[in-house]
Structure 1
């Protein structure tokens, strides 16, 4: 199943994607359907009765898949070639950092280049959405049982601010820099852990990043197991799984996004996340 969160008449709605159309499931929030488990998602889909309104997918005003996740936990340097292009060694433990919900934007919504920086960079990433509370110290073999589904993410980074401190938080949390969507794809639609899928970014139609999710150093199951040793993961929490090589800062000369650009993140069988770039 494939769901979108969209807005009409100023209100958030949940939609079931059916080809080029979306069945309007009403005002139920995707996070609430996820919290209800597989049965909740199935019930949401069941409510797409033959008489449910169908809307064209093209032209909908989308919202981030989950507009306000409880936690957004990101991984840095999770592809070896990306670590190398930044002069880093392959990590022995994930470089975790957090994002805030206030940084999120939807597919089709503008990514914002802030007035205080010109160093706006792109990062194509897989997002995994937790489906139910993960017990502490969960076994890696069981970890994927707690994943409800997947989406695309663009971990847009303000590089000079990212490097102002030893921690990356400030450069990863500017408003309008966390593109998330367009759709939530249930885990049963994809290979376990969303492994073996092509992942790419394109800037104004030019391929900038091209890799495969099998190249992740710490895949989804291992990441969940490691995090469960430290914290409670809950339904609706989002794990943003790191980016491949090819980002703008590592190029000669560096490539920074600017007003009027279009940035795309595409993951095989997951979707195409596309955003224009605007100036603050």
Structure 2
């Protein structure tokens, strides 16, 4: 099953798509797909409702697709988590996860327009596997405990403004928290339906030209390690999102640095998690 939120920004309604591609409304089951829903065994309740046929069909045609998780409490990001990406940017291979935060308000729908910030000349793309927390994680004993705290996975575009990020006193958050800089979705896929999370292909194309083609097997720090590691330094709550890093192929590391301009279209994919597509516009 694939959980999603449909409707205008700020007024999305929760829904689920079954294995046959039919879409059902979840309004009678929950007000939204958020931390409270995930913490209360919401995924199991949706699965049961699908099985007993109690959910009403909904026609998603013409409806905007929102981010599959409402109002994440925080978005935690892991930088330089693929060896080839670290190498293309000239950075040292990290010995510990590189952690930074992103304003949760950057989370938007997977097909929403993304404004290029005023004054920006180095807006960049990053296809990433996003982890959505489903159970409070605090001081996990070891990485083997991580799986029990993960609700599911989604596609994330960790849009970045490299001048703001790297040339303004190295304050990464300045280049990561601009308006709409974290398209998420289209779906939240439960963890148990994803299979081997360390064997997922990731792809990204700009105006139809492939820029990124990677695989989560090449992560320096795998998903379980990342969740365990973060739990030693912060409490991860249901609904929180973790962006786990991007493979090589970002504009920062390509010849000529082909940064995004108004009118450019970016398409992203992760195996089993769907496709995103955004058009970039001037703010």
Shift of 1:233: 1.0
Q: Secondary structure, in 3 states, of the residue corresponding to 1:108?
A: coil
Shift of 1:107: 1.2
Instruction: List runs of 5+ in structure 1 lacking aligned partners.
Output: none
Question: Partner of 1:270 in structure 2?
Answer: 273
Shift of 1:248: 0.6
Shift of 1:50: 5.6
1:158 aligns with 2:161: yes
Q: 1:66 aligns with which of 38, 53, 69?
A: 69
Shift of 1:238: 0.8
1:113-161 CA distance string (max 9 Å, x none): 1122121100000000111011313311111111110000000001110
CA root-mean-square deviation: 1.7
Q: Is the 8 A contact 1:118 1:256 kept in 2?
A: yes
Q: Specify whether residues 105 and 229 from structure 1 end up closer, same or farther in structure 2 by C-alpha distance, changes over 3 A only.
A: same
Query: CA–CA distance in 2 between the matches of 1:267 and 1:237?
Result: 20
1:117-266 alignment, distance < 5 Å = 117-163=120-166, 164-192=168-196, 194-266=197-269
Query: CA–CA distance in 2 between the matches of 1:189 and 1:247?
Result: 29
Query: CA–CA distance in 1 between the matches of 2:83 and 2:24?
Result: 41
Q: Is the 8 A contact 2:67 2:184 kept in 1?
A: yes
State the TM-score, normalized to the length of structure 1. Answer: 0.93
Instruction: List runs of 5+ in structure 2 lacking aligned partners.
Output: none
Q: Larger % of strand: which?
A: 1
Q: Is the 8 A contact 2:2 2:189 kept in 1?
A: yes
Question: Partner of 1:4 in structure 2?
Answer: 4
Shift of 1:176: 1.4
Q: Specify whether residues 166 and 62 from structure 1 end up closer, same or farther in structure 2 by C-alpha distance, changes over 3 A only.
A: same
Q: Secondary structure, in 3 states, of the residue corresponding to 1:183?
A: coil
Following TM superposition, the consecutive aligned residue runs of length 4 or more in structure 1 with deviations greater than 6 angstroms are none
Q: Specify whether residues 251 and 52 from structure 1 end up closer, same or farther in structure 2 by C-alpha distance, changes over 3 A only.
A: same
